[in-house]
Amino acid sequence: MKQRIILSILVFIFILSTIPLHSGIFPFQVHRKVLDNGMKILVIPLPNPGLVAYYSVVRTGSRDEYEPGHSGFAHFFEHMMFRGTKRFPNELYQKILTEMGAASNGYTSLDLTVYHLIITKDDLEQLMDMESDRFRNLEYTEQDFKTESGAVYGEYLKNKTNPGFLLNETLMNTAFDVHTYKHTTMGFEADIKAMPTMYEYSKSFFKRYYRPENVVLVVCGDVVPDQVFKMAEKYYSPWEKGYVPPKIQEEPEQTAPRSGNVKFEGKTLPILAVGYKGLRYMPDSKEYVAMSLLGDVMFGSTSDFYNNLVLEKQIAQFAFASFNGDRDPSINTIMVMIKKKENIDLVKQTIADTIKKFQTDLMDSKKLEDLKNSNKYSFLMQLSSTGDVAGMLPSFIALTGDITAIDTYFETLGTVTPEDIRQAAIKFLTDNRKTEILLEGE
């Protein structure tokens, strides 16, 4: 284990030593081009001989599913994009990828859908031809659509057997009234179940959202930027504009605490989720950045809360917090699995006491500086390979349209004070922003 850590550090040091740095924390030069049709290309040369990461970032996720009865389509297209085109039917597409020694993968979240591959640089032009074709000319029959939508419902039912999935689904549905974050990435079950009847709607969804103005291409690795831009002009310029922004309703301000209980049809320890409405992702806001730190500070693996409930008293099986921003104001969540039912109220009170402490007392200045340094180090250590670098970027692109937010966030981080932390806790961790869900098994 120790040898792997040392090797990782040495690789990271080598990469940094061979790349011209700029003044921000992101250590690599980014070359940008916007095609006439609005598609943005980001090229990041790296000294990883022969390897190229190819990421197509669609700035559409479940957030964009604003039409009643039609949730789940962003995730559905993650599946359908592998159905192929006239030029490259699925069988041929997969055959060529196999010959390249590559595999095409994808994922969907609230704010984005991503398609990604790692290839050799000699295969880049062939791959760009194939990828641009499927984004422009995806083709599927009504029977293909029904088959895949049935598979998606099967995936939903499988996920529903996971207590964490069910808890998160209930939390979001309870916390939000009108914003599309009310449904999870997979969508409402009734919508997914009815999806096989929505073939024509699916074509409309693709036509509105899979457009060049809404897609950012990231090419990272052993590449020459001008050559990549020339290929992109050739293969992506024929793609016509046509993006139609979603009409998303703004969530009304919450005025009172919310709560709920969910019964899991299976064996599980009780799991408590406590969420607080927060800000959208704003890397230039001290208020937002201070809030983003609070999850780790209060409930992370080095916190007093974790040490007390998980390690020392062993009241909780696990505890963690997710205080990350989304494209629109979302929810910051604390989640705890509790070993004994009789300790549920104790855990709730300990969460409340922890929040109260940070609303009252100033965080130790040295601990805050250590946390800032740890965040920077952790970020940089995740950039040790071509795939790692490319894989870090889609979330920033989905949130802001570029990756300059990385430098902005860490610049703002450097200015955050213990008083900023305290004020964020006072403002955002209040009962009128709170949603509490308890899941219990049979």
Task: Look at residue 15 and tell me whether its pLDDT is greater than 50.
Answer: no
Residues 186 and 298 in one domain: no
Q: What is the mean pLDDT of residues 65-76?
A: 97
Per the DSSP assignment, residues forming a β-bridge with 440 are 263
Residues 218 and 263 in one domain: no
Residues 347 and 407 in one domain: yes
Last residue of one domain, picked from the residues 181, 205, 236: 236
Helices (H) and strands (E) counted in the chain, each on its own, are 17, 11
Residues 232 and 264 in one domain: no
Judge whether 110 lies within some domain.
yes
Last residue of one domain, picked from the residues 204, 236, 268: 236
Task: Look at residue 88 and tell me whether its pLDDT is greater than 70.
Answer: yes
Judge whether 244 lies within some domain.
no
Task: Look at residue 26 and tell me whether its pLDDT is greater than 70.
Answer: yes
Q: Kindly report the pTM of this predicted structure.
A: 0.92
DSSP 54: E
Residues 317 and 366 in one domain: yes
Residues 262 and 359 in one domain: yes
Judge whether 3 lies within some domain.
no
Residues 230 and 263 in one domain: no
Phi, psi of 437 (to 5 degrees): -125, 130
How high is the pLDDT of residue 12? Answer: 43
How high is the pLDDT of residue 48? Answer: 87
Phi, psi of 295 (to 5 degrees): -60, -50
CATH number for the domain spanning 218: value is 3.30.830.10
Judge whether 262 lies within some domain.
yes
Residues 199 and 288 in one domain: no
Compute the chain's Rg from CA coordinates.
23
Residues 189 and 63 in one domain: yes
Residue 70 three-state SS: coil
Q: Which domain holds residue 405?
A: 258-440
Residues 227 and 355 in one domain: no
Residues 187 and 331 in one domain: no
Digit-coded pLDDT (tens) for 385-441: 999 999 999 999 999 999 999 999 999 999 999 999 999 999 999 999 999 999 999
Judge whether 380 lies within some domain.
yes
Count: domains in the chain: 2
362-377 burial: b if 16+ Cβ within 10 Å, else e: ebeeeebeebbeebee
Residues 264 and 205 in one domain: no
Last residue of one domain, picked from the residues 236, 269, 295: 236
The pLDDT-based confidence of 16 (bands split at 50, 70, 90) is very low
Digit-coded pLDDT (tens) for 307-318: 999 999 999 999
